[in-house]
A and B are shown apart, each in its own frame.
Chain A
């Protein structure tokens, strides 16, 4: 398994896109921290960038990478290797590279400007988001043979998690603003890893005071140590479940 992982990572490094991604993240994060007058605001802007760019790059890069590796997968399948280890090596290779890229690109500036628990939480959730979207893209590729369709599905999933879901939640919250639906919103938010990460970080920043009563409910549940542990468990489920189903499907696929 480690052997395949080695070749996957070598291949990704040779690809140079990940290096560009590191450079890009580094430049943006550094720029944001320098533009804002206090580092807390800088962290907030970084958060919004991270929640937008990291899922997008992870999902699209991994989808295209897996489609382009079809030759590699085919070659390996005729060799004495387990299907499981081929698939998991691809997952590990992509996750490791993207997490490394995120930590190098965004983590280092954050540690320079805002090295506290909140900063670390942002690094952690960004890293987990990278892995989650690798896992989601693997699920998308394994269910569609057609490359264009697979990439389309990946982009739609990203749109859904990054934009559409928020809109829907906001709409429902406004419609039922007269009812006590804070807890419901809390539960619904955990159906979206991007939202969940956003809430975890926001609650630790002063701006959560702006969130009113809902913010208070969130803080009561998620602001505590237990709340954060639970939310990270949910985030971890978010990459284990798609990975599990993609693996199950990959084991039965004809190639």
Chain B
């Protein structure tokens, strides 16, 4: 569904992504992991067309996304830090997004709005919201349009345990419908039942791209978090020795 070839990006002298080749198919649950500053968010923003790559191309449903915008109809995006117009309230933001995307989908998925209880605080201004509430708005907007692809950048960061559980269940539900889900997170333990593939980025380089069963097999660990930690530690251990 999404095919990334030879993608490179730099901000000035700083290389953020180097020759990334990846392929995401329908129904996949991808975990995009890596240390801070490894280029995860930049990769996501490249897919969304918010960052223009220096080199390489991205195909979405076999169409190049450069200078294209229609493909974003199929993407629901939840940013890491949701930034919204300060003097609008929650209700207005949600109405505005519905209005903008109305022509594309007429059925809205308001599960999250209801489950998070956002309707009760519709008249709160965006600038008065706490980080967690902002995340709830971002998540609700990402799922609102029944998009085929969901891109979630640190979805549960800042959410309380109850909300985080609601969101997780929603992600699993959507994944079971056969949607492609790309998720970045540092909390590996919560990814366990959501994903089937792991993409590991470090310093803008693709370190590995494996399915979970492969990882668990090769490390002999039952838990994803331990398995990944195992691989990362082994890698740095090997690097130190050579």
| A residues adjacent to B (C-beta < 8 A) | 3-4, 7, 11, 14-15, 68-72, 74-83, 252-255
Contacts and interface: CB of A to CB of B under 8 A. Distances in A.
25 contacts: A3-B100, A4-B100, A11-B87, A14-B87, A69-B85, A70-B83, A71-B83, A71-B84, A71-B85, A72-B84, A74-B83, A75-B84, A79-B97, A79-B101, A80-B69, A80-B70, A80-B72, A80-B101, A81-B72, A81-B100, A252-B52, A254-B45, A254-B50, A254-B52, A255-B45
B49 interface: yes
Contacts of B70: 80
A253 B50 CA distance: 8
Contacts of A80: 69-73, 101, 104
Nearest to A70: B83
Interface of B: 11, 45, 48-52, 69-73, 75, 77, 79, 83-88, 96-97, 99-101, 104
Contacts of A83: 69
Given A80-B73, A81-B69, A83-B69, A255 B50 contact: yes
A71 B143 CA distance: 20
A69 B83 CA distance: 10
Contact of B85 (A3, A11, A254): A11
A72 B48 contact: no
A163 B103 CA distance: 49
B186 to A, nearest CB: 22
A3 B103 CA distance: 11
B51 A254 contact: yes
Contacts of A79: 72, 97, 100-101
Given A7-B96, A254-B11, A254-B51, A75 B83 contact: yes
A254 B11 CA distance: 9
B101 A77 contact: no
A66 to B, nearest CB: 13
Nearest to A75: B84
A77 B77 CA distance: 11
Contacts of B83: 70-71, 74-75
A133 to B, nearest CB: 24
Nearest to B151: A78
Contacts of B79: 74, 78
A157 B88 CA distance: 32
Given A4-B100, A7-B96, A255-B51, A78 B85 contact: no
Contacts of A81: 69, 72, 100
Given A7-B96, A255-B50, A78 B84 contact: no
B105 to A, nearest CB: 10
